[in-house]
Structure 1
Amino acid sequence: MGKVKVAIIGSGNIGTDLMIKIMRSARHLEMGAMVGIDPTSDGLARARRLGVATTAEGMDGLVRLPEWNDIAIVFDATSAYAHKAHSAVAVAAGKQVIDLTPAAIGPYTVPPVNLDDHLDQPNVNMVTCGGQATIPMVHAVRRVSRALPYAEIVASISSKSAGPGTRANIDEFTQTTARAIETVGGAARGKAVIVLNPAEPPLIMRDTVFTFSQGAEPEAIAASVEAMVKDVQTYVPGYRLKQKVQFEHIGGNAPLVIPGYGTFEGLKSSIFLEVEGAAHYLPAYAGNLDIMTSAAMATADRWVERRHKA
């Protein structure tokens, strides 16, 4: 199976890390172009040194590059606002689009949960870093439960790993992640919180997942969670549980009140995660960026495999 050429729009932290990953470890991908809007950006400078075609004129510049015709997949690591225009141009040209912004034009995609469901879509959305880290856990609880009325996640990342794009998209992060907890994770209601931690030295990404489920025993949930962790580790080796899943039975003598749902009786599960980055371009503490780029690359590799089989 030959490799297909890809372009990355966005020469910041996420785009540059993705470029390094593709060049080092992608199974079916090779770099065709790196696109930015700042000619002095480190990402564009690195791409040039590595022999990758570059442009500092955004999507318009990419379309003018001679490499454009050979590019099959476009990764967008810019912003939710800019992605709408980028996607329209790329899809019209017959390119597959992988969206690493919270724009969510295409369906939410979390590789170990629903990747194969969306391989025929021209545009798929990688949700958010918090979504990629936590939605597999929400789904792990849901798939062994009769019902999952509520799930809440808290993503804590080092402030040093939150660049301008991340900071500009905080509202979109919470909204997009919450919706994906419901539509992909399977919770009836979802909530997402992000914390930018200024601690020094910087802390590795930590995620906490609270689920409120019915119709499943703790042993079944724990086994499902551990199996899902192994699935995520196939493309994010630094993904791990910090401790065993914690459980609390909520009885009818003291039910919880969940806004928009009502009173809840059942099982509360608390799942504590750590995501250590591979340090391909960014420090290991930037697991929030690593899990996004790793999920995007896994999606593109699977796309190529599907096309080859077809």
Structure 2
Amino acid sequence: MEAVISRKRAAIIGSGSIGIDLMYKAMRSPHLDLKMVVGRSQASEGLSRARDLGIATSAEGIDFLAHHASGIDIVFDATSAQSHRINDQFFRKANLMAIDMTPAKIGAICVPSINLDSIVAERNVNLVTCGGQASIPLAYAIAQAFDTLEYIEVASTIASDSAGMATRENINQYILTTEQALRQFSGTGKSKAVLNINPAKPGINMQTTVFAKGRYHSLEKVKASVREMVVRVQRYVPGYEVVLEPVESKGYLTVSVTVRGSGDYLPAYAGNLDIINCAAIAVAEFNAVSWERTAA
């Protein structure tokens, strides 16, 4: 007799490109039951696609969720940092788990390859930024192999077409959030984050480079730590690949990865959007599986 999987009921707020791609990923998950997609425009492509798939939709945003909170367990918030701070007041009252796709910094910070186990009981989970999801695993792996880590710098380059209005409006918050999370996960006292938006046509794949300064005894140990971490990230982000293994130059260790998306809706070069969506699904599925085990 096959075991029955009790799926968590999910909703997405935000019907832009990220929300559309997230919708397809959530629908494919055996642990999630996507109940509704809400936005601000009835004519948006996201709501149109959701309606065609038989998913409940609304252009009333958080007001619609407020009237249907009893029918959902998890909310993916793909709006903006400012909107999430407002939305979370309702999520808290309704006791809904919120997976924050914005750099709002009000929830427990999660990078699935590092601390997924520790956030299972959290009500609000923050996914840092796309650059953070790409770079923090590397920074953490480097820190594990270093004796002391003095400084971490991260430079992410993304295609202009994959940087929507929310990304552009949130750049300052993006930098602050990424830098804070880098310090938290690597233990360094100093960090810097840079975001480059490249207008090249066709769009380029996301690329993230980490520069680290500190003391270590074995470059091979650093390389092994990075390789192990890359495998862990690839379990939920298949397009995450090293393009430059750790090398030392002028006192800095450098490592670089590229992120290619799965193409569920977004173009494959939009790895910056894909990686944060993949992280969101990983968090939601872990929560659902943990809930199933507890219920059993």
TM range (shorter): over 0.9
Aligned to 1:152: 153
Q: 1:295 aligns with which of 263, 279, 287?
A: 279
Deviations 1:203-243 (A, max 9, x none): 01011111112234111000000111111001111000013
Aligned to 1:270: 254
Aligned pair 1:17/2:21, yes or no?
yes
Distance, in Å, in 2 between the alignment partners of 1:187 and 1:115 is 21
Aligned to 1:304: 288
Distance, in Å, in 1 between the alignment partners of 2:60 and 2:88 is 16
Distance, in Å, in 2 between the alignment partners of 1:216 and 1:173 is 33
TM-score, normalised by the number of residues in structure 1: 0.91
Distance, in Å, in 2 between the alignment partners of 1:59 and 1:185 is 36
Distance, in Å, in 2 between the alignment partners of 1:187 and 1:131 is 15
8 A contact 2:6–2:292 mirrored in 1: no
Aligned to 1:222: 223
- Any idea what SS the aligned residue of 2:108 has? coil
Which residues of structure 2 form unaligned runs of 5+? none
Superposition deviation, residue 185 in structure 1: 3.0
Aligned to 1:257: none
8 A contact 1:141–1:213 mirrored in 2: no
Which residues of structure 1 form unaligned runs of 5+? 251-267
- Any idea what SS the aligned residue of 2:107 has? coil
Aligned pair 1:116/2:100, yes or no?
no
Distance, in Å, in 2 between the alignment partners of 1:114 and 1:308 is 20
RMSD across aligned positions (CA): 1.1
Aligned to 1:142: 143
TM-score, normalised by the number of residues in structure 2: 0.95
Superposition deviation, residue 103 in structure 1: 0.3
- Amino acid aligned to 2:100: D
Distance, in Å, in 2 between the alignment partners of 1:109 and 1:216 is 30
Aligned to 2:263: 279
- Amino acid aligned to 1:177: T
Identity %: 43
8 A contact 1:79–1:165 mirrored in 2: yes
- Amino acid aligned to 2:191: G
Aligned to 2:180: 179
Superposition deviation, residue 249 in structure 1: 6.4
8 A contact 1:97–1:124 mirrored in 2: yes
Superposition deviation, residue 187 in structure 1: 2.2
Greater alpha carbon shift after TM alignment, 184-193 vs 133-142: 184-193
- Any idea what SS the aligned residue of 1:269 has? strand
